[in-house]
Structure 1
Amino acid sequence: MTGKQHLTGKVEALEGTKILCVGDVMLDRYVYGDVERISPEAPIPVLRVKDERSMLGGAGNVARNLAALGAHVAFASVVGADEVGEEIERMLGNVPHLQASLVVEPLRRSTVKTRFVAMGQQVLRADHETSAALTSAAQTEFIDRVRGLVPDVQVVVLSDYGKGVLTPEVCRAIIDVARAAGVPVVVDPKGRDYSLYRGASVVTPNRKELAEATGENASGDEAIVALARKLIGEAGIDAMIVTRSQEGMSVVMASGEVAHLPAEAREVFDVSGAGDTVISTLAASLAGGLSLVEAASLANTAAGIVVGKVGTAVVYLDELAAKLRENELSSIESKVATLQAAQDVAASWRARGLTVGFTNGCFDLLHPGHVALLAQSRALCDRLIVGLNSDASVSRLKGPTRPVQPDIARATVLASLASVDLVVIFEEDTPENLIRSLRPDVLIKGGDYTVETIVGADFVQSHGGKVAIIDLVPGFSTTKTVEKLSR
């Protein structure tokens, strides 16, 4: 095998790993809109808001990434007794395979970062936060909780965003108990004093953080290695992985081994949260039994995926496997996506200013009527997503003898059409949930419908989208074709 193909079979080892993630949790809010004029009150742009979204950020995004990779996550952090803290707790409760242990500090303000985005570009970020260290009482309670979680996991992740949760005392206590239990500790650092992480297995600064921690210029392979070795020796760390943006990443071990991995991103759209993806993939890979260089290689691949997405996004296990197999996958196969992956793709299209269209159907035996419908649908938008009823869904709607073709075959045929940009299979009888998840700009339906009778039309219109009805080409019917074949 060449390149990274030898890692393809190891990706499945990430699923089911047990990881403890500890650090500063926060809420990331995104406000999307258009800027069409300057305010008469001051020389500033006026953002006409079209959409708002919230997601877990900071250590919460690390936990999301771990869960997306199939890991079972124990999560520990501190929030304030406020609405943001309550929202964070609710969102953590919706992450699969994640058990959260949150300490509530009454006088603490939960961190929320609000980004205002126009035409794919951030125009402003507003932060509400506190960076004060934990109170003595909260710190004691927090350490006690985390100590009880360490024996049940394979790797501990410390995600330090400098918001006061990972105090020197907390870091020391966690690393000591983990090392005593033989559990590796992976750290995403903050600040200049890496002695806080003494005894850690791996620390993952970016190039800027490495330069700040050493007070020296971190440019070029030789300088990166020299500075990493300096910190490894001074801080008593086993290894360091330095992320270097477009130059990839460098793995430097206390044993002397060095590996430089080139960057893999083909298109960079948003780098926020990329470090979270790196450390989560690294941790899950180490828990899955991969070597440090193999784990770093997978993390590098994951980073190349996530920077092509919008906001604090995650990388799913199937995306990572597909990326490693991309030389084997045809362009047709790559157009068939899970709902989670489709949400990320649709968000990135919209952020680029592209309109996203959606239509759906069983598409059992594809005929010229279907082809015409899809071509006309694509003409109404920049990118077209097709929702495809699963086999079970088709059977409920059409009867026990249908479908004629299994869903993966139907999806493959649809994906072969130039008019179709993405295919998502759904299990429900209607695409209501799919439409709400993908939030298309244009909802398209063929046949004798009115807007009021189209599933999802009211939702699409409620956020400024359009609904289009296309006349079907007469004389074509899958049901009639099947009846003819059965005679």
Structure 2
Amino acid sequence: MTGPKPLVVVGDVLLDEDIEGVATRLSPDAPAPVVDVTRDRRHPGGAGLAAALAARGGREVVLVTALGDDSASEAVRSELRGRVRLVEIPLAGSLPVKTRVLASGRPLVRIDRGGGTPGEPDEAVRDALAQAHAVLVADYGRRTAHAVREHLAAVTPRTPLVWDPHPKGEVPVPGARLVTPNAAEALSLCPGEGGTSLRAYAERGARLAERWHAAGVAVTLGERGALLARPASGTPMLVPAPYRAAGDPCGAGDCFAAATAAALADGALPEEAIQRGVAEAAAFVSEGGAGNPALWRTEPVSPTADPPGSDAFAVAEHVRARGGTVVATGGCFDLLHAGHVGLLESARGIGDCLIVCLNSDASLTRLKGPGRPLNPVADRIRVLEALGSVDAVAVFDEDTPREVLSRLRPDVWVKGGDYSVQDLPEAEALRAWGGQAVVLPYLDGRSTTLLARRAARAAVPLGPSAS
């Protein structure tokens, strides 16, 4: 199996600082909250975050950016070392530093410092872009895209390019495969036109695509997903988010752009790339966004390593290796209904991945009796894996998932309904590795058996002429 194709990220790197604490009182000398600091973190932001996200799983990523001799630039180099390959442009001045002060996870104030001017790019920049299978421009209005514009225009006719724009940044080069403004950026770039309906954003996207001579514009709409518009008249395509992601959205746009560009590097169509971008952005927000310590806590993956894919045990190991929480649930899922979907969505929100332990056909027949399953295991796997809330499926042939659980070793085991945690047959096995069993609410009146009986009652017998 060949590894992922290389991706080149061009843009402005920032140093992001998060100072976290709790605020329970006001200052005696001013009506301002006093924050008792509990933790502070520093990590690359802007194009640095986009490059690091694109490199997750071992993809080869080259970051073309402007760095100087200041302490913020050194901090960025240190964090990115071993994750991406840096091709530097000289920076006159200091790297911008954005500091957020958060109380109980909510931002109170942001302080911006520093800034400089990128110098002239050298031949290393030209060579990196010439070898790219796709290019992502992460423009944060700090003129790196301006410095490299001539080189970008030269590769665009033969290389897929995604441009993540900024209201104060550079106009995308003509011929971009996708431009990815968020809703606020699209509104500022097309002021006074329409409202905030999907139709209004589709019209803005089409006008921007015409203005920029881009093949398509994907307007990101937060929890509503992304809307793809093209310059010619036609029906826009809405890619909804797979689930409502609750978490810090900081960096979600970088994640979307990075995932979209990586998909294009792998040969995906723009529509497929946007679907991957929306799904990865939702997962990124659910895991804590740019402030998730696991993004920077673990060692970078070797570029020769294959990503875990959808193998359940590989997914569990991958999540554990970066300090995440593995959640699992189990069942037959013979006819997927609203009760199943609600349970799976709630379970996915507990941790960083959700693995479904699925009864095999033989196991299901022993459990439910003759006539079951209604759908074979291959079909049940395909339906479950199509859900945004499910990361992987592990099939077991025994009467209970005890053996597969001992291999997965999830941190949390989820059941739905009126179970008592102490009465769950899996609870004893979970105690062996410190796992926790929890019970989540389940929609009443929904079950595969009831659906099957309802369908049987509604069936119309075939007459003699219909055979």
Structure 1-normalised TM-score? 0.61
Aligned to 2:33: 45
Mapped contact 2:205–2:228 kept (Cα < 8 A): no
Q: 1:298 aligns with which of 244, 264, 276?
A: 276
Matched letter for residue 153 of structure 2? D
- SS of the residue 1:111 aligns to: strand
Q: Report the alpha carbon displacement of residue 164 of structure 1 after superposing the two structures with TM.
A: 2.5
Distance 1:242 1:258, change over 3 A: same
Mapped contact 1:79–1:110 kept (Cα < 8 A): yes
Q: Report the alpha carbon displacement of residue 197 of structure 1 after superposing the two structures with TM.
A: 2.7
Q: Report the alpha carbon displacement of residue 279 of structure 1 after superposing the two structures with TM.
A: 0.6
Q: Report the alpha carbon displacement of residue 320 of structure 1 after superposing the two structures with TM.
A: 9.5
Aligned to 1:73: 61
Mapped contact 2:177–2:214 kept (Cα < 8 A): yes
Aligned to 1:307: 285
Mapped contact 1:337–1:423 kept (Cα < 8 A): no
Aligned to 2:148: 170
Q: Report the alpha carbon displacement of residue 211 of structure 1 after superposing the two structures with TM.
A: 1.3
Aligned to 1:150: 129
Q: 2:113 aligns with which of 128, 138, 142?
A: 128
User: Quick check: 1:264 aligned with 2:242?
Assistant: yes
User: Quick check: 1:233 aligned with 2:210?
Assistant: yes
Mapped contact 1:195–1:236 kept (Cα < 8 A): no
- SS of the residue 1:61 aligns to: helix
Distance 1:198 1:414, change over 3 A: closer
Distance 1:51 1:230, change over 3 A: same
Aligned to 1:63: 51
Q: Which protein has the bigger helix share? A: 1
Q: Deviations over 1:92-126 (max 9, x none)?
A: 1142xx21112232x41211111112212112211
Distance 1:49 1:239, change over 3 A: same
Matched letter for residue 324 of structure 2? A
Aligned to 2:11: 23
Q: In structure 1, what is the Cα distance between the partners aligned to 2:427 and 2:105? A: 26
Q: In structure 2, what is the Cα distance between the partners aligned to 1:188 and 1:265? A: 24
Matched letter for residue 406 of structure 2? A
Q: 1:113 aligns with which of 98, 112, 126?
A: 98
- SS of the residue 1:40 aligns to: coil
Distance 1:411 1:241, change over 3 A: same
Residues 210-359 of structure 1: matches in 2 within 5 Å? 210-215=186-191, 216-254=193-231, 256=234, 258-312=236-290, 313=292, 337-340=319-322, 342=324
Q: In structure 2, what is the Cα distance between the partners aligned to 1:69 and 1:63? A: 12
Distance 1:219 1:69, change over 3 A: farther
Q: In structure 2, what is the Cα distance between the partners aligned to 1:40 and 1:147? A: 57
Q: Deviations over 1:361-405 (max 9, x none)?
A: xxxxxxxxxxxxxxxxxxxxxxxxxxxxxxxxxxxxxxxxxxxx9
Q: Report the alpha carbon displacement of residue 53 of structure 1 after superposing the two structures with TM.
A: 1.2
Q: In structure 2, what is the Cα distance between the partners aligned to 1:423 and 1:29? A: 36
Distance 1:413 1:82, change over 3 A: closer
Q: 1:409 aligns with which of 394, 406, 411?
A: 406
Q: In structure 2, what is the Cα distance between the partners aligned to 1:66 and 1:336? A: 16
Mapped contact 1:211–1:217 kept (Cα < 8 A): no
- SS of the residue 1:199 aligns to: coil
Q: In structure 1, what is the Cα distance between the partners aligned to 2:96 and 2:231? A: 36
Q: In structure 2, what is the Cα distance between the partners aligned to 1:297 and 1:196? A: 22
- SS of the residue 2:144 aligns to: coil
Q: In structure 2, what is the Cα distance between the partners aligned to 1:190 and 1:423? A: 48
Structure 2 residue runs without a partner (length 5+)? 328-349, 351-401, 414-425, 436-467
Q: Report the alpha carbon displacement of residue 319 of structure 1 after superposing the two structures with TM.
A: 9.9
Question: Percent same amino acid among aligned pairs?
Answer: 25
Q: Report the alpha carbon displacement of residue 42 of structure 1 after superposing the two structures with TM.
A: 1.7
Aligned to 1:463: none
Aligned to 1:87: 75
Aligned to 1:476: none
Q: In structure 2, what is the Cα distance between the partners aligned to 1:310 and 1:241? A: 24
Structure 1 residue runs without a partner (length 5+)? 1-11, 346-353, 355-404, 426-487
Q: In structure 2, what is the Cα distance between the partners aligned to 1:421 and 1:129? A: 51
Matched letter for residue 87 of structure 1? A
Q: Deviations over 1:251-279 (max 9, x none)?
A: 12346463111123433211100001101
Distance 1:407 1:51, change over 3 A: farther
- SS of the residue 1:102 aligns to: strand
Q: In structure 2, what is the Cα distance between the partners aligned to 1:276 and 1:76? A: 16
Mapped contact 1:21–1:76 kept (Cα < 8 A): yes
Distance 1:193 1:39, change over 3 A: closer
Q: CA RMSD in A?
A: 3.7
Aligned to 2:376: none
Aligned to 1:480: none
Q: Report the alpha carbon displacement of residue 60 of structure 1 after superposing the two structures with TM.
A: 0.3
Aligned to 1:436: none
Aligned to 1:203: 179
Q: Report the alpha carbon displacement of residue 244 of structure 1 after superposing the two structures with TM.
A: 0.8
Distance 1:336 1:109, change over 3 A: closer
| Number of residue equivalences | 336
Q: In structure 1, what is the Cα distance between the partners aligned to 2:34 and 2:100? A: 14
